[in-house]
Amino acid sequence: MWKAIHTVDGANAEEKEGPAMSRTVVCPNCHTSQPADEATDDRPRVVWCQSCRYPLRLDSDAAVEPRQVRILWVDDDRLLLTFGKDALERLGYRVATAADGASGIEMAKQETPDLIILDVLMPNIDGYEICRRLRADAGLTDTPILLLTALEERMLDLWGREAGATFTMSKPSRPEHIASIIEWMLSWKLDPPPA
């Protein structure tokens, strides 16, 4: 839970009466305070903690629960899997991992994750083929897929989109960069467009 602190006449006070000019929220994950503009409409609004990137919903007294977001990361690099899983779990996501394409496809069908991260270069089945097979599954057609690749090729993004990927990015990438791409890819789940 985050608590709202309103600024009234330039002084911070918890829940003071009167018109609030701006709002400060305290992140429940890292406990830092940060400013947030007041919402101008009744739509649910999500902002990201400036320190830890934890999602905060401003229209209620509760933060969005990112632990409910399930991510499947498929990569044959076990060190990257361990590091990436730890980084995303510190942000509150639930992360499952698979070290090869066949087990990744099976896990995706069983778990139906909210987002899938795929390495492009893997033995037996590459990330493009995994992506095509996942898109052919009725339960996974709309699941965002992030392709990670160490390849240096201008056509990678096009090849990824042709295979059904939502986004393609180079690796190695900093965890904060991967997290911001994940947040962008999942933003429709956290802050849906108005009906």
**Residues in a beta bridge with 97:** 73
Q: Which CATH class is domain 66-173?
A: alpha beta
Give the type of residue at 113: P
Phi, psi (degrees; rounded to nearest 5) at 143: -70, 125
Q: Where are the domains of the chain?
A: 4-57, 66-173
Among the residue ranges 53-57, 148-152, 181-185, 187-191, the one predicted with the least confidence is 187-191
Q: What is the pLDDT of residues 53-90, one digit of tens each?
A: 666 666 554 444 444 789 999 999 999 899 989 988 88
Is residue 172 reached through a cis peptide bond, with omega within 30 degrees of 0 on the bond before it? yes
Instruction: Flag whether the pTM goes above 0.85.
Output: no
Q: What's the pLDDT at 64?
A: 44
What is the band of 2 on the pLDDT scale with cuts at 50, 70, 90?
very low
More confident call, 174 vs 129: 129
Phi, psi (degrees; rounded to nearest 5) at 122: -135, 155
More confident call, 65 vs 13: 65
Helix (H) or strand (E) holding 116: strand 115-119
Q: What's the pLDDT at 28?
A: 66
User: Of 176, 168, 170, which Cα lies nearest the Cα of 84?
Assistant: 176
Alpha-carbon distances, residue 66 vs 1, 108, 145 (angstroms): 13, 19, 18
Q: What's the pLDDT at 41?
A: 60
Q: What is the pLDDT of residues 111-133, one digit of tens each?
A: 999 999 999 989 899 999 999 99
Among the residue ranges 8-22, 66-80, 112-126, 177-191, the one predicted with the least confidence is 8-22
Query: Which DSSP string corresponds to 37-63?
Result: PPPSSSS--EEE-TTT--EEETTSSS-
